[in-house]
Amino acid sequence: MPFLGIGLHVLVAIYFGIHAIRRGRELYWLFILFMFPLFGSIVYFFVAYLPELRENRGVRKAGRAVVQAIDPGRELREARKAYELTPILNNRLRLAEALLASGDVAAALQHFTEAAQGPFATDVVVLRGLARAQLAANAPQDAAASLERLFADHKEARRHPDAALLYARALAGTNAAGVREAFALALEVGTDAEPKCRYADWLRTQGGAADVQQARELYAQIIKDSGHWHRHAKSHNAEWLRRAQAGVSA
């Protein structure tokens, strides 16, 4: 149905075009989307948008939270059983994620490290998971190295929300150069309140008056944005809202 003279399929193509630009995807996607809006949007949805949605940390976290509330430990049990029956990469990664979520960082790190060997040494999902586990194990320098390995082979991965924030956190944890630039990118491509909150937390540790003021502004922006969040966003960002409120009061 046309909307203000523009077909719905064109609006969808515009949305996907903006998404492609924000994610740093190849320019041929824009050509496909705007030369063939309907067909291009269908292709983009299944090839680029849906896989990213499945990997989205917020969606995964919400799903795990529901399962955890109903049956604590179920995901870990099922993931362990699946890996024992069929020790393929996907099952190893599922088990590693379940171990990490349960707090068994050492075991999760071992699985991610072993997954990052051989033919999957540069796999996007493997290296992002490895970096998360390394950060959880308080090894930010190792996490930064894993992500730099990822970016060297997959330049577009630098603009993935999870990878961008992980890299900023890793650099912040080692006091390496480029922290501000890394957080700036994480804020640009981020889809939730976590990048703002983590950047504000880091700014407060720098001690300068300008940094403290910028941190307060970021906390205030999170609080302001929370008034427009839908129910899922409120649940997903609850931790960051609490931290922002505490940061403003500190």
Q: What is the pLDDT of residues 207-232, one digit of tens each?
A: 899 999 999 999 999 999 999 998 88
Distance CA 137, CA 176 (A): 18
Cα–Cα distances (Å) from 50 to 42, 44, 59, 160, 192, in that order, read 10, 8, 12, 14, 18
Give percent helix, percent strand, percent coil of the chain, each to the nearest 5. 80, 0, 20
Q: Which two tokens stand for residue 29?
A: 């996607």
Average pLDDT over residues 122-144: 96
What's the pLDDT score for residue 217? 96
Structural domains for the chain: 8-52 (no CATH), 57-186 (1.25.40.10), 192-250 (no CATH)
What's the pLDDT score for residue 1? 44
Average pLDDT over residues 134-156: 96
What's the pLDDT score for residue 56? 56
Higher-pLDDT residue of 103 and 22 is 103
Cα angle: 138, vertex 141, 143; to 5 degrees: 75
Q: Which two tokens stand for residue 133?
A: 């586990």
What's the pLDDT score for residue 249? 87
Say whether pLDDT at 27 is over 80: no
Cα–Cα distances (Å) from 188 to 67, 159, 243, in that order, read 31, 9, 21
Alpha carbons within 13 angstroms on the beta-carbon side of residue 83 total 19
pLDDT band at residue 61, thresholds of 50, 70 and 90?
low
Q: Give strand pairing partners of 181.
A: none
Contact 221, 196 (CB under 8 A): yes
Mean pLDDT score of the chain: 87
Contact 215, 223 (CB under 8 A): no
Cα angle: 26, vertex 45, 152; to 5 degrees: 35
Average pLDDT over residues 193-198: 97
pLDDT band at residue 118, thresholds of 50, 70 and 90?
confident
pLDDT band at residue 80, thresholds of 50, 70 and 90?
very high
Q: Which of 21-30, 32-41, 53-62 shows the lowest per-residue confidence on average (mean pLDDT)?
A: 53-62
Q: Which two tokens stand for residue 128?
A: 């992002």
60 Cβ contact partners less than 8 Å away, ≥ 6 residues apart: 97
Query: How many percent of the chain have pLDDT more than 70?
Result: 88
What's the pLDDT score for residue 145? 97
DSSP-assigned letter for residue 5: T
DSSP-assigned letter for residue 46: I
What's the pLDDT score for residue 22? 75
pLDDT band at residue 158, thresholds of 50, 70 and 90?
very high
Q: Which two tokens stand for residue 210?
A: 């300008």
Say whether pLDDT at 55 is over 80: no
What's the pLDDT score for residue 4? 46
* Amino acid letter for position 133: A
Backbone torsions φ then ψ of 75, nearest 5 degrees = -60, -40
